């Protein structure tokens, strides 16, 4: 019954069951990074249903110095969701006056596409469905966008032989990144941004006991990164440190099957020309070798939005793999 409802609902946005059965022949999906097509009638978009989606999908991204939305939203009516537009990589399609439905579908009118189907008899029912499933929506879109970004990066990969020999890892990043430091225990790579600034990746390792003591706190990782990066990175004759006004955010995650601490915050340069920007740091636990492998991305681009560049860095850092797993 659920499959029948999805098929009928999909027809409402001109998505046919026949196409879904021919996924290999579909063209690839399209779309800018973190841009979501919202397929719904104008009245819903301008009312409480649209407000609910905006409140969820345009919340500020964690860890950026200035406020930027999680997603950029572009509303379109169902009759316009055809042809080229229907190949959008991530979209939400909402129908009013239909049996209650929530479904995350893949490869509907294009390969590597994620569509969220929502329906309800009333606006209140639709709003409740959106709120109940908000985490699933964000997770599905995030996974699709990370995959798309990693695929784009893989078209022009830098060689990582030195990362293998020094740290026993691989990482997928573009040839646009240049190695500016390759010491015994600290690598630093930079990619210049066309209009202004640069994107940076650092890699190093520390013993497990540097982070794993009797008690754990954000301060312990901050001290670790300030000690190592502060010693190895010099910008405008200043010291590269964690910005002290706001405490970084710390999360638990997993990379290549290994537990990892994820830290998001702001860096600054002290004792030099004022420079600030966002950073994303992963301390990946490698018990076999009694160490944490630390991979970090940071940006200096004061005149540009930073959401999508930081997302690219996240995709790169999350591609870290241990060669002896």
Most confident of 86-100, 213-227, 242-256: 86-100
**Mean pLDDT, all residues of the chain:** 89
CB atoms within 10 A of CB 166: 17
The answer, yes or no, to whether residue 234 has pLDDT greater than 90, is no
State the average pLDDT over residues 158-165. 90
Between 108 and 20, the more confident residue is: 108
Residues 98-119 as b or e (16 or more Cβ within 10 Å = b)? beebbbebebbbbbebbbbbbb
State the average pLDDT over residues 302-309. 90
The answer, yes or no, to whether residue 195 has pLDDT greater than 80, is no
The answer, yes or no, to whether residue 165 has pLDDT greater than 70, is yes
Residue 20 pLDDT: 43
Positions of E strands within 26-85 = 35-39, 72-76
Maximum distance among all alpha carbons in the chain? Answer: 67
What pairing do the DSSP bridges indicate for beta strands 276-286 and 258-270? antiparallel
List C-alpha distances in Å: 14 to 49, 105, 144, 174: 22, 15, 22, 38
Residue among 276, 320, 323, 278 nearest 295 (CA):
320
The answer, yes or no, to whether residue 60 has pLDDT greater than 90, is yes
Class level of CATH domain 157-322: mainly beta
State the average pLDDT over residues 118-133. 98
* End-to-end alpha carbon distance in the chain: 44
The answer, yes or no, to whether residue 233 has pLDDT greater than 50, is yes
pLDDT confidence tier of residue 214, bands split at 50, 70 and 90? low
Residue 218 pLDDT: 85
Q: Where do the domains of the chain lie?
A: 2-152, 157-322
What is the chain's percent helix, strand, coil content, to nearest 5? 35, 35, 35
State the average pLDDT over residues 2-8. 46
pLDDT tens for 64-109 read 888 999 999 999 999 999 999 999 999 999 999 999 999 999 999 9
As a whole number of angstroms, the distance between CA 208 and CA 259 comes to 12
Q: Token pair for residue 241? A: 């440190």
As a whole number of angstroms, the distance between CA 271 and CA 310 comes to 26
State the average pLDDT over residues 229-256. 86
User: Would you say the C-alpha torsion 27, 32, 38, 43 has a positive or negative sign?
Assistant: negative
As a whole number of angstroms, the distance between CA 131 and CA 120 comes to 13
CB atoms within 10 A of CB 121: 12
Output Rg (C-alpha) for the chain, integer angstroms.
Answer: 22
Helix (H) or strand (E) holding 182: strand 178-182
Between 200 and 239, the more confident residue is: 200
pLDDT tens for 254-277 read 999 999 999 999 998 877 667 889
């Amino acid at each position: 019954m659920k499959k029948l409802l999805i098929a009928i609902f999909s027809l409402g946005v001109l998505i046919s069951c026949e196409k879904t059965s021919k996924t290999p022949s579909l063209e690839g999906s399209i779309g800018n990074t973190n841009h979501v097509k919202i397929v719904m009638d104008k009245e819903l978009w301008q009312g409480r249903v649209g407000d609910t989606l905006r409140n969820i999908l345009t919340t500020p991204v964690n860890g950026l110095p200035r406020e930027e939305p999680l997603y950029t939203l572009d509303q379109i009516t169902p009759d316009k969701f055809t042809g080229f537009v229907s190949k959008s990589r991530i979209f939400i399609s909402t129908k009013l006056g239909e049996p209650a439905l929530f479904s995350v579908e893949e490869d509907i009118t294009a390969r590597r596409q994620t569509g969220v189907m929502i329906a309800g008899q009333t606006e209140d029912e639709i709003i409740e469905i959106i709120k109940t499933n908000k985490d699933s929506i964000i997770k599905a879109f995030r996974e699709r966008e990370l995959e798309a970004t990693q695929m784009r990066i893989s078209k022009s990969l830098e060689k990582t032989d030195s990362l293998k020999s020094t740290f026993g890892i691989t990482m997928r990043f573009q040839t646009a990144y240049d190695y500016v430091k390759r010491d015994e225990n600290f690598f630093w790579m930079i990619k210049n941004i066309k209009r202004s600034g640069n994107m940076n990746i650092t890699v190093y390792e520390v013993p497990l006991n540097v982070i794993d003591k009797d008690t754990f706190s954000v301060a312990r990782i901050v001290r670790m990164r300030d000690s190592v990066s502060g010693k190895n990175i010099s910008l405008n004759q200043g010291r590269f440190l964690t910005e002290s006004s706001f405490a970084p955010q710390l999360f638990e995650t997993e990379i290549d099957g290994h537990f990892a601490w994820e830290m998001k915050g702001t860096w600054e340069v002290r004792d030099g020309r004022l420079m600030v920007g966002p950073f994303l740091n992963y301390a990946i636990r490698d018990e076999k070798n009694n160490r944490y492998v630390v991979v970090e991305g940071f940006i200096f681009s004061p005149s540009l939005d930073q959401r999508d560049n930081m997302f690219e860095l996240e995709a790169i850092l999350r591609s870290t793999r241990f060669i002896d797993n």
